[in-house]
Amino acid sequence: MNSAPIAIYDSGLGGLTVWREVRRALPGESLLYLGDGKNCPYGSRPREEIVRLADEAVAALVARGCKLVVVACNTATAAAIDFLRGKYAPMPIVGMEPAVKPACLATRSGVVGVLATERSLDGDLFRRTAALYGRGIEVVTAPGRGFVELVESDREATPEAEECVRRAVEPMLERGADQIVLGCTHYPFLLPVLERIVAGRGVAIVDPSPAVARRVAELLDRYGLRAAADHVPACEFLTFADEAYRSRLELKAMGSRG
């Protein structure tokens, strides 16, 4: 039994899409969310720099006494998960899996689209997963250029966002993709726009965050880390940016509780 918080970390607001699922799956747990904010976006930074930023973030969360860390950022997972697991062992660290496996298992057209940041798409994790599950399947990738910036500036529901998402997705649809994987935790905020674009085309959108929340629950059970039954859960929000950004995190989290 352990009532310390579960920590969830992202470059910015995107990891709130994972926070929301963890909250739903584990309502009795305290959550500590860190949205870097100061260094966002991570997506096209060099790998070494992302490792350093992720290390600073996890160190700050460990200093706050968390019992498990979710790296709710595909880009940081791709660049730094092995490093973090090595450095902070035995604390469990959960990363984002590119949801290529379920998409490849579900496709009927044999074409799967993957949207992610540049650094995630050129990482080993994505290459290995695509090679393992994508045999005989055409995996069409596209970096979501501008997507993170749209979400970070609360412009995810604008015509500009629709135009930007359409530009990335249209070539996948033309190839015949019937599954589109959201390989960046910011992208589920663009779901209403994305659903409008694919409407009527028989396309499923795959968001890995519910599976990540299930994985967190499994690890809590495996290591005996569930909060006590009488624990009163609390949610706290941290950032490396300023107070205005921190309160935006909190507002966006509460608004997306769903």
Residue 16 within binding range of ligand DGL, rule CB under 6 A: no
Question: Active site residue: 66, 104, 164, 184, which one?
Answer: 184
By CB under 6 A, name the one of 70, 73, 168, 203 that touches ligand DGL. 73
17 vs 225, beta carbon nearer ligand DGL: 17
Q: How far is the CB of 229 from ligand DGL (least distance, A)?
A: 33
| CB-based closest residue to ligand DGL | 43
Q: How far is the CB of 226 from ligand DGL (least distance, A)?
A: 27
Instruction: With beta carbons less than 8 A apart as the criterion, state whether 179 and 106 touch.
Output: yes
The 33-52 contact track toward ligand DGL, x by CB under 6 A, reads -------xxxx---------
By CB under 6 A, name the one of 5, 7, 8, 11 that touches ligand DGL. 11
146 vs 176, beta carbon nearer ligand DGL: 146
Q: Output the CA torsion sign for 118, 112, 204, 178.
A: positive
Q: How far is the CB of 158 from ligand DGL (least distance, A)?
A: 19
> By CB under 6 A, which span of 54-62, 178-186, 191-199, 203-211 interacts with ligand DGL?
178-186
143-172 residues near ligand DGL, rule: CB under 6 A: 148
By CB under 6 A, name the one of 5, 14, 37, 113 that touches ligand DGL. 14
Instruction: With beta carbons less than 8 A apart as the criterion, state whether 33 and 60 touch.
Output: no
Q: How far is the CB of 197 from ligand DGL (least distance, A)?
A: 20
Distant-in-sequence, close-in-space partners of 163: CB < 8 Å, separation ≥ 6: none
Exposure string over 162-175, b if 16+ CB within 10 A, otherwise e: bebbeebbeebbee
The 106-145 contact track toward ligand DGL, x by CB under 6 A, reads -----------x--x-------------------------
Q: Which two three-digit tokens encode residue 225? A: 């880390």
Distant-in-sequence, close-in-space partners of 29: CB < 8 Å, separation ≥ 6: 5, 6, 22, 220, 226, 227, 231, 233
184 labelled catalytic: yes
Residue 75 within binding range of ligand DGL, rule CB under 6 A: yes
| Residues of the shown chain interacting with ligand DGL in the complex, contacts defined by CB under 6 A | 10-12, 14, 40-43, 73-75, 117, 120, 148, 184-186
Catalytic residues: 73, 184
